[in-house]
Amino acid sequence: DAKTTQPPSMDCAEGRAANLPCNHSTISGNEYVYWYRQIHSQGPQYIIHGLKNNETNEMASLIITEDRKSSTLILPHATLRDTAVYYCIVRVDNNNDMRFGAGTRLTVKP
Amino acid sequence: EAQVTQNPRYLITVTGKKLTVTCSQNMNHEYMSWYRQDPGLGLRQIYYSMNVEVTDKGDVPEGYKVSRKEKRNFPLILESPSPNQTSLYFCASRRASGSGQFFGPGTRLTVL
């Protein structure tokens, strides 16, 4: 599965949109982009996933570039409870491989 | 409520004393897996199971066993725990396709 690159840390003001980037330049055509987050030492939480179209759910939006080499997770109105490590993972659907990298530590500040 | 449960949540044990960490999901998911998380090393997969009676090694399987006799349960067995297995363990499950993983709350294990 393709490797991803994320910035190690980001800050965001409470109430503003948090835009978390992810590069996956070696992604192949059948690989999905998944996002998870982990708040402190809790179990990671699935956020959203997509293949090529942009996706939105109650938690976030996922924007995937047309060439699929990068994506952005958008938390539209960040709150203090969104402070967490965010992981971007690419994998083939129905494939086991789920390798978590270091992720981006997002800190939402008052 | 859809969930993955793990027991125990905290465990302190001694070297060589066999232990089992249970994992159960109520979502009828085909796929289940175990991870360990260590500072500086992130989440690493130990074992996974694509369905009942089908299990396979992840990245760090040494010192662990698993079984999948029923769809809902996926216990992690440490036959002879050692201090280097002190870690935070997570169980996860998902549908066979088109789904993200749902993680349990974690089990913090200390082996003295």
For residue B97, what pLDDT is reported?
80
Contacts of A45 in chain B (CB under 8 A): 103
Verify whether the Cβ–Cβ distance B97 to A94 is below 8 Å: yes
Distance CA A7, CA A10 (A): 7
Res A41 pLDDT > 70: yes
With bands split at pLDDT 50, 70 and 90, how would you rate the model's confidence at A96? confident
* B50: closest chain A residue by CA: A96
Instruction: Report, as an integer, the average pLDDT of A26-36.
Output: 92
Verify whether the Cβ–Cβ distance A43 to B88 is below 8 Å: no
Contacts of B56 in chain A (CB under 8 A): 96
Res A91 pLDDT > 80: yes
CB-nearest partner of B88 from A41, A46, A48: A41
A10 φ, ψ (degrees, to nearest 5): -150, 150
Alpha-carbon distance A80 to nearest alpha carbon in chain B (angstroms): 21
Instruction: Report, as an integer, the average pLDDT of A76-92.
Output: 94
Three-state DSSP at A80 gives helix
Verify whether the Cβ–Cβ distance A46 to B98 is below 8 Å: no
For residue A1, what pLDDT is reported?
55
With bands split at pLDDT 50, 70 and 90, how would you rate the model's confidence at A110? very high
For residue A2, what pLDDT is reported?
59
Count of residues for chain B?
A: 112
B59 alpha carbon, distance to own chain's centre:
13
Q: Can you give the pLDDT of all 112 residues of chain B as single tens digits?
A: 889 999 999 999 999 999 999 999 999 999 999 999 999 888 999 999 999 999 999 999 999 999 999 999 999 999 999 999 999 999 999 988 878 899 999 999 999 9
pLDDT tens-digit series, residues A43-82: 999 999 999 989 999 999 999 999 999 999 999 999 999 9
Q: Could you tell me which of B41, B16, B42, B27 has the C-alpha nearest to residue B73?
A: B27
CB-nearest partner of A43 from B42, B45, B105: B105
Neighbour tally for B9: CB within 10 Å: 12
* A31: closest chain B residue by CA: B98
